Amino acid sequence: MPWGVIRHGIDKSKSLALAAQPEFACVGMFTQDRRIKGSCVLIHPRMALTAAHTLDKTHDRSPLYVEFGSTEILIDSFSIHPLYRQNKDADLAILYLSSSKSDLQLPKLNRSKKEIGQIGTSVGYGNFSVANNPKDIVESGRLKSAGNNMIDSLAGRLLPNGLSPHVYADFDSPDGPDFNRSGSAVCLDMEYGLDGGDSGGGMFYKIKGNAVLAGINAIQNKHIADIIRTRSFYGSSSQWVRVSVFRKWIKQQIKQYEKINPTI
C-alpha cells in the first residue's frame, strides 16, 4: 500500500511543497536496519512523539534512529503510553534521542478539545499515490508529503476519564458527495488520506494564526472490497491521536526527563 494519498486533479508537487514548509521541519522519520518504521514529531531537543504501534514491529537486535532532513540521531530509548496495552487507541509513544536537535522550530502542543470543524494539515513520510488510481504509486522513496482534512468527529475507545482518544476525518471526492461518510462533503484543494509510513507523523492546525500540533497520525481505515468496487481510496477515513487529551502526560514526561537531565 502507498503511504500518503492525495486527491486527483492537483499537482503532486503541491503536497511536497506543503510538507516542506518550515513549521513542519519538526516532522521526521525513524528507522531500523535502514528501513522506515514510521514518522515522528520533535517536541523537545531530545524527545519526539510517535504512534505506539510503529514500535510493535521493531526488535532489539539493532538500534533505532531518527532522521530530520540530513541529520541522523540514535534513539536511546522510548516510552509507550501506559494505557496502550489495554486500549490500542491510546496510541502514543515518546522517543528519547541520544543527542540534541536544537535547530528546529518546536511546535506548541494543542490544549483545546474543540477540534471538530478545524482544518488540519497532516505530514508524514513514505511513498504516496493519487486517490483515484490506487495501483499507481506517484513516487517511491523517502518523501515527506502533506495534505489537509476537515476534522469531522471524535473516535476511538473511550479512555478511563471518558474522553475520546482520536479525531476522525473522511476522504472526500472532488467529483461529488457519493463517497462522503461523515461531516462536510466538500473536498478540500489538498484533501488527503493517511497510510502506513505516515503513522507517528503530525497533524497541525492554526489557532490565532499559529500552527499547533493537534494530532499524531494513527489509523487509515480502508476496506479492500470498497477499493476494488470503487477503484479509488475515496470514502476511506483517517484518525489521529488527540494531543489535547494526552497533553498532560506528554508534559509530565518532558518535565521528568529534564529533572533527570538538568543540563539538557
pLDDT in tens, 136-181: 555 545 788 899 999 999 999 999 999 999 999 988 878 777 777 7
β-strand 27-32 against 64-68: which pairing, if any?
Answer: antiparallel
Q: What is the pTM of this model?
A: 0.91
Question: How confident is the model at residue 2, as a pLDDT?
Answer: 34
Question: How confident is the model at residue 39, as a pLDDT?
Answer: 94
The set of cell numbers assigned to 143 is: 518523501
Which of 124, 108, 51 has the alpha carbon at shortest distance from 247? Answer: 108
Question: How confident is the model at residue 94, as a pLDDT?
Answer: 98
The C-alpha cell 486533479 sits at 9
β-strand 108-109 against 210-221: which pairing, if any?
Answer: parallel
Confidence of residue 125 (pLDDT cuts 50, 70, 90): confident
DSSP structural state of residue 26: T
CA 132/CA 179 separation, integer angstroms: 12
Which of 196, 200, 203, 227 has the alpha carbon at shortest distance from 131? Answer: 227
The C-alpha cell 481505515 sits at 221
Which of 87, 50, 43 has the alpha carbon at shortest distance from 65? Answer: 50
